[in-house]
């Protein structure tokens, strides 16, 4: 996980959070343009995330829920002013983009597949976000209206010659998507923390909730391709997860939605 020491003050930092940062070294650990993530080197470590107003509310809810399940970090504070702020304890270990894990791709592939199967078998009856599928399809619809699309995602596997073709396929088949599994929602290597190959926790849970397992399956496959620069582990990933719960036709529906993701 990238960390760059910063020397300037964090702009717009709420007064409530100032005592936590006092006397601590602070590192920028951001990996997206939408959110800033800071590592606070104090005690056992903390992460402070800042994002546009209202964008961290679901993540705070789901992070609390995952923590209750023993699957993620404890949320210490969620504040919403001109921006949203969320402070969490550090999950011990390193994310799965660390060289320790990338250097053993077969073991990495099997590990994240088995962790995902375990997550998907978790009882979700008390999950606070019960219909993630509707929100997921809503994002695709909104991005379609805005003309935002990318037809090149996994071109060799799912060939949608145009945005219209992907949209038409999604509209004709979206009713097959279920709402029956606890999801991570962004199941990628940077969001899975291991401590010497032992599972420590999941992070970045803003797209979590109850939805269709194939959303996580799609991104599990994608992250191996993206980070290992090869599609060689796709079949191995599905084998390790379990073919009994993997439907290639549903994955194609997810691929159509992700054209507008």
Catalytic sites, residue numbers: 186
Q: What is the C-alpha separation between 167 and 174, in angstroms, rounded?
A: 10
Comparing C-alpha atoms, which of 64, 114, 124 is closest to residue 88?
Answer: 64
The helix (run of H) or strand (run of E) holding residue 95 is strand 94-95
Phi-psi region of 159 (alpha: psi -120 to 50; beta: other; left: phi over 0): beta
Q: What is the C-alpha separation between 190 and 88, in angstroms, rounded?
A: 16
DSSP helix/strand/coil, 191: helix
Strand extents, DSSP E, 154-218? 181-183, 192-195, 198-202, 209-211
The helix (run of H) or strand (run of E) holding residue 113 is helix 105-120
Q: What is the C-alpha separation between 226 and 100, in angstroms, rounded?
A: 17
């Amino acid at each position: 996980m990238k960390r760059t020491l910063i020397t300037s003050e964090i702009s717009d930092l709420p007064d409530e959070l100032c005592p936590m940062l006092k006397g601590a070294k602070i590192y920028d650990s951001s990996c997206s343009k939408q959110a800033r993530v800071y590592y606070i080197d104090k005690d056992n470590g903390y992460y402070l995330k800042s994002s546009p107003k209202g964008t961290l509310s679901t993540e705070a809810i789901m992070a609390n829920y995952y923590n209750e399940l023993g699957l993620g970090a404890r949320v210490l504070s969620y504040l919403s002013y001109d921006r949203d702020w969320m402070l969490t304890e550090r999950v011990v270990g390193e994310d799965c983009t660390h060289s320790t894990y990338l250097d053993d791709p077969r073991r990495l592939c099997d590990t994240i597949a088995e962790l995902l199967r375990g997550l998907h078998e978790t009882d979700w009856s008390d999950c606070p976000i019960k219909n993630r599928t509707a929100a997921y399809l809503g994002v695709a619809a909104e991005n379609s209206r805005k003309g935002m699309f990318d037809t090149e995602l996994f071109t060799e596997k799912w060939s949608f010659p145009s945005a219209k073709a992907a949209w038409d396929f999604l509209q004709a088949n979206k009713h097959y998507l279920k709402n029956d599994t606890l999801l991570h929602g962004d199941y990628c290597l940077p969001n899975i923390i291991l401590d010497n190959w032992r599972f420590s926790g999941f992070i970045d849970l803003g797209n979590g909730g109850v939805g269709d397992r194939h959303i996580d399956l799609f991104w599990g496959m994608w992250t191996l391709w993206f980070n290992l620069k090869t599609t060689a582990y796709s079949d191995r990933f599905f084998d390790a997860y379990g073919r009994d719960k993997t439907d290639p036709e549903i994955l194609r529906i997810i691929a159509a939605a992700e054209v507008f993701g």
